[in-house]
Structure 1
Amino acid sequence: MDRLLIEYQCNVGLEAASDLRKLFEQVLLATVHEKNLNYKILLCLSETVTNIVKHSQPKASNILVRFEQIDKTWMLKISDDGGFYDLTSTDEKNLSEIGHDLEIGRGIGLIYASCNQIEYSKGKVIEENCITFLWPINQRTDRARILLVEDQASVRSLYHNYLANSYEVFVAKDGNEALKSLKDQPVDLVLSDINMPMMDGLSLRSELIQKPEYELTPFVFITASEEDEMQARATSLGIDDYIIKPVTKENLIFHIERVLQRTRQIVKKLTNRINNNISHSFTHQIPTNLSHWNIAVSRRDTGAGGGDLLLFQSNKEDSLVALIDIMGHDESAKFFSYAYGGFISGIMRAGKYAKIACHELLQHISEMAYNDELLSKVTLTGIVFNLAPKGKLTMACAAHPHPLMISKESIEAIHVEGILPGLLPDTKYNPIQITVRAGERIAIYTDGLTESAPDNVSRGKLENQILTIIKETIHVPIDRALRLVMQKFDELAGTPPNDDTTFILLEPLLG
């Protein structure tokens, strides 16, 4: 999956590195969910831009920075119109041999330590210098994250071994260390001993229920104490379970799974209730025939977090359709999806009387995301398209996966791109127009379609097989093609999937 996340041009000045770093912090927080990798990307960005500002000869006047996802790789490109020292001419194994006056203050060693795949192209008369940094997208797991808090090293190691094959486990030796760990890595469940030095388990639980971001995190005590008074104190703190030592591997996993499953059921029931009461007020089933186009839509909902919004508005001449993906997997993200749904629906309905183009709708969304203090707290991607007769399709994109053009001969990405909404004021999106011929289809989807498998290997298999079946079903009716694709998706991603998924097939009605 390829998508542009941010492209930004600025004048060269002393504040350039600082300004770009602040902007990129927002982008990385929403897209690259590895704290250490975020740090490396920011370091390469700030050190490189600082070098351009201070050391390029002749002096550069403009810098263009571009960050995107290219398949399984993060790519950062920094271009300038001045002269710049080629970092790739330096052998990282011989950094110690670089002249002191060259390395000092330029962070070359830091850059090499943060990225081992760097490419540089020197500008010519009408071209700019360009340095490219590449990082592999590391394997991500969708296993539940457990924070294990236990002061005895041997017991901590034993429980970690019990859980490591089933969960992503983080460890802490007391309550204070647990609080620090939670700041760096949110978890799905806390498993804590009660009797510990420094801060015991009861104090840890008391601290967490005072913090809105942790008060709903499932919490399980594990202790050797069978005293009724101790159990009563623990229960009064609203814990989810209480396990008496000694504990076997099977018993420990049983208690954890029971708590996690109960939590998922509660979240799903509450989400469904809210969906029924709120979302139906601004979402409607999209017709199977719209502005001389056949449309087939299928969706999969995890029941948690932000979710996908599919909205449309028809006029006599054409129809406007918006597919928005609200990022985030917590309760607040679900609230923001409703807020954005109401806002976007209102704009589209107004377009019934004063026609709005696809790129204009994205620009409205970006302005709202930038200016509104509340809505700016969540990140979204989106693609908006106008359907018109005779196979005319106009679309604009904001950091969303590229749509696909499907024919009997091939399946190819349609390169329409734009940055994440809300990053910059007055963001413009450039629409493209294509004509879809008889026998061709368009596929539009959210990233859940190719990223809902549990790990990177499975995701690669999921993406390859989904693309294969999309192409193979070009000969069958569009509704059956949709069912076959989603059957394969359910088989590989499981039900429910790890991410909300929306898949749309379009074909023109010609003649």
Structure 2
Amino acid sequence: MSAPIATPDRALKTHAQTPARWQKTIGSPAYADLPPLRAEMRRFLDLAGSPAATSDRYCLSLCEIISNLVKHPRQKAQAVAITCTAAGAHLRLDVADDSTPFASFDAICKSAPARLQAAGTLAESGYGLGCIVAQHARVCYTPAAASVDGRNHFTLEDGAPAAAPQSAPKPLVFLVDDNPADLKMHHRMLSGFYDVVPLGDAMAAMAMFDARRPDLIISDLHMPGTDGAALRRRISALPDGDTVPFIFLSAAAEGMNDANLLRLGIDDYIVKPATSQALQRTAERVLRRREQVHRALESRFHRDVQKYLHPHLPPQAGRWRIALKNRMADAGGGDFTLHSGNEDSLSVILADVMGHGTEAKFFAYAYAGYLRSLFRGALAPERGLAPAAPHTLLTMLSAAVAADDFLDASLLTCQSFRLAQDGTITIASAGHPPPLLLPRRALPSVLPVAGALPGLAGADYQPLHLQLAAGDKIIFATDGFFDAFSAEGEAHPPAALMQMLDTCAPMGAEDCSHEIWQRFEFCAQTQTRPPDDATLIIAAYGGSDEHQ
């Protein structure tokens, strides 16, 4: 592989609006290319200042394209050229290859969606177009016959050339008062700080609420017909209406002590005539308190999700010793494990759901729950059936993802393995970084196991069978772990990790994991990109009873 070409870090950070470019050319693509390509592209986009969620989308789409170049062309590509340019919010990714074009149509463009449905081309192409098209503003595939340079081009693009920064939108405030003079005066006091919608009565506010959800409602208490209290009750009865903060305006402070009003759960009140200072400060205080509550709820959600997703495995399964280390990042997607065993074997799935932010955490939470239900029958020995083989589990998962629009909207990588009591281990992989073999009396090596990302048409997962000797270990990990050891442009596995494994060969699973994890935490502190979830699993075979 050629070395990547990218603008230096200083230039990327200092001149964020100047187009930065990352180029990479590889030979005939393979699944093993996915982890280093994803790592290099993420570093480039992070240095270019792209939001984490945008970086995730582009990295996942690149992996989707390369995976299909590995799997589907009748004549495989001999060279693949990848070019990504970034300038502010404008991103463009072009993947050019010399393979047999996918399907017999001239171009696939999101701007002409009818062409996407032409004569089964979606199913034939194997490109997972539904996933890619949904994630980008402009998507175009041009076969070699229609391109200038005689190569196939898959191009993704988002955003427009960077423009002058725009100020954040103002909070939306409904101002409700039947007195035209008060309504006009209060509107003038607030309009410099908020997007204020003046409304002359409660019914107008109810009608407007259906069209626009305000961040705050300020209402006169005493109005003819439907008064402020009735408005509060009606708003609270609507979906999410009780989460909108409410401030009353009243000509008499003592009226605000009415027990019925207090039960309405208003956030504050202002005595008329309201001064500009009182109106602005009260609105600011209530909105700030609302934001604090939202942050607290989001933090609690993260804690609950992390508790549910936190990977865990038994420390011992017969003659196997198992050590697991994990870091869950608030901004990261989600790593999780599933396992089930009997007296003969332990079956494990290690999954890494891609993405960042609250939505990604929620998706990981939902994905884990879905998979627990999906694989309960396949992994549960209490049903009297032998656990499904690792490659069978991945085939089931891939079929479920392909058939489910919700799951197909996101991507994950995963590895499935089974530890048998005679020292044999069976491994299958779906887009996941290859595991490492750490023999007791030999050099560490990368295990040759790979497979397409779940959900791709015709995914075929081949198992790898190994016989371990006493003291041999297998290391499984997610991208977040391997990325911490990787240098710019370095292929899997990272040299820094492989070097330290030499000293870990004689150790048991727990001591080995402790030593490696300490080094991981040191390397992770030097990273500039947002932290990702990271999981490390070490399975060590103990041999016969006398070796335990």
- The TM-score normalised by the length of structure 1 is 0.53
Question: Which of 349, 353, 356 pairs up with 1:322?
Answer: 349
Question: Which of 325, 329, 336 pairs up with 1:302?
Answer: 329
Say if 2:501 is the partner of 1:501: no
Q: Equivalent residues in 2 for 1:186-201 (5 A)?
A: none
Q: Which amino acid in structure 2 is aligned with residue 412 of structure 1?
A: S
1:416 aligns to what?
449
Contact 1:398–1:419, Cα closer than 8 Å, also in 2: yes
Say if 2:93 is the partner of 1:40: yes
Q: Which amino acid in structure 2 is aligned with residue 7 of structure 1?
A: N
Give, in whole Å, the separation in 2 of the partners of 1:334 and 1:458.
28
Shift of 1:333: 2.2
Question: Which of 393, 396, 409 pairs up with 1:361?
Answer: 393
Shift of 1:458: 12
1:7 aligns to what?
68
Shift of 1:396: 0.7
Gaps of 5+ in 1: 13-27, 55-61, 67-77, 86-104, 112-119, 121-130, 134-168, 177-198, 216-225, 242-258
Q: Which amino acid in structure 1 is aligned with residue 525 of structure 2?
A: G
Q: Max radius of gyration: which structure?
A: 2
Q: Which amino acid in structure 2 is aligned with residue 337 of structure 1?
A: A
Give, in whole Å, the separation in 1 of the partners of 2:448 and 2:500.
21
Shift of 1:502: 0.9
Say if 2:302 is the partner of 1:271: yes
Cα distance per residue 1:12-64 (max 9 Å; x no partner): 9xxxxxxxxxxxxxxx99xx9x9866x3325x36998389988xxxxxxx999
Contact 1:394–1:434, Cα closer than 8 Å, also in 2: yes
Q: Equivalent residues in 2 for 1:293-442 (5 A)?
A: 293-351=320-378, 352=381, 353-355=384-386, 356-407=388-439, 408-424=441-457, 426-442=458-474
Give, in whole Å, the separation in 2 of the partners of 1:132 and 1:294.
48
Say if 2:97 is the partner of 1:49: no
Deviates more, 1:406-415 or 1:1-10: 1-10
Gaps of 5+ in 2: 1-31, 35-62, 75-82, 107-123, 129-140, 155-161, 170-190, 197-211, 217-239, 244-275
Shift of 1:445: 0.3
Contact 1:383–1:400, Cα closer than 8 Å, also in 2: yes
Shift of 1:170: 9.6
Contact 1:396–1:432, Cα closer than 8 Å, also in 2: yes
1:106 aligns to what?
147
Give, in whole Å, the separation in 1 of the partners of 2:326 and 2:482.
13
1:492 aligns to what?
523
RMSD: 5.3
Give, in whole Å, the separation in 2 of the partners of 1:495 and 1:209.
40
Q: Match of 1:415, SS?
A: coil
Q: Match of 1:384, SS?
A: strand
Give, in whole Å, the separation in 2 of the partners of 1:296 and 1:495.
25
Shift of 1:430: 1.4
Q: Which amino acid in structure 2 is aligned with residue 287 of structure 1?
A: P
Identity of aligned residues (%): 23
Query: Relative to 1, partners in 2 of residues 1:464 and 1:207: Cα closer, same or farther, differing over 3 Å?
Result: farther
Give, in whole Å, the separation in 2 of the partners of 1:510 and 1:441.
11
Q: Match of 1:378, SS?
A: coil
Number of equivalences: 344
Shift of 1:384: 0.2
Give, in whole Å, the separation in 1 of the partners of 2:428 and 2:436.
14
Q: Match of 1:430, SS?
A: coil
Contact 2:33–2:491, Cα closer than 8 Å, also in 1: no
Q: Which amino acid in structure 2 is aligned with residue 477 of structure 1?
A: G
Cα distance per residue 1:242-279 (max 9 Å; x no partner): xxxxxxxxxxxxxxxxx9xx998864443223444x55
Shift of 1:493: 1.2
Cα distance per residue 1:439-489 (max 9 Å; x no partner): 432110011112248x96599999443332233211222211111111111
Shift of 1:366: 1.5
Say if 2:500 is the partner of 1:469: yes
- The TM-score normalised by the length of structure 2 is 0.50
Cα distance per residue 1:404-442 (max 9 Å; x no partner): 112344222112111111233x53311111222334321
